[in-house]
Amino acid sequence: MADTGRPLQIGLDDHLLLDFGMRTVDDADDGTVLEMPLAPRVLNPHGGLHGGLMMALIECGAAGIAVRAAGSENIVAGDLNVRFLTPVRVGPARVVGHALRVGRRSIVVQADVIDVGDDRTLCASATVGYARLDDRSSGQPVG
């Protein structure tokens, strides 16, 4: 499969997340999503994507969903609950999801990890809560 993705945009040229090859891709079903290719350096001893790296992928992908839903980049993660269902073994690992709730002070996102190379197998399911750091009506930081 050809690499048609765009590198993750994080505003820094030398950030740890760039080392994992995270990239944004356009998914026919889910729009713009985040994915990570599998490489030996991101695998656990059993040959699947390392759980901690999967959690980092989930949080980054969910943050993109939250930013689009809130219309603001002024968010921070407050909690992350992950259920690991099966390993990502073929790859790439892709985060798909949607905002469950967009409120005045918080956003809750449902984020799932699928193994794109294994018939889009659902590998993990997560909810991520974000705190909004701006006034929803003005877009200005609060406090």
**For residues 84 and 98, is the Cβ–Cβ distance under 8 A?**
no
Residue 137 lies in a domain: no
Residue 28 lies in a domain: yes
The one-letter amino acid code at 55 reads: M
Residue 50 lies in a domain: yes
The pLDDT value given to residue 136: 59
- Using alpha carbons only, what angle is made at residue 128 by residues 125 and 134, rounded to the nearest 5 degrees? 155
Per-residue pLDDT of 38-91, as tens digits, reads 999 999 999 999 999 999 999 999 999 999 999 999 999 999 999 999 999 999
Residue 1 lies in a domain: no
Note down the domain range covering 79. Answer: 6-132
Q: Domain containing 128 — which CATH number?
A: 3.10.129.10
28 pLDDT above the threshold of 90? no
The pLDDT value given to residue 112: 98
Q: How many domains does the chain have?
A: 1
Residue 140 lies in a domain: no
Return the structure tokens found at 58. Answer: 């989930």
Residue 69 to residue 61: CA distance in whole angstroms: 13
2 pLDDT above the threshold of 70? no
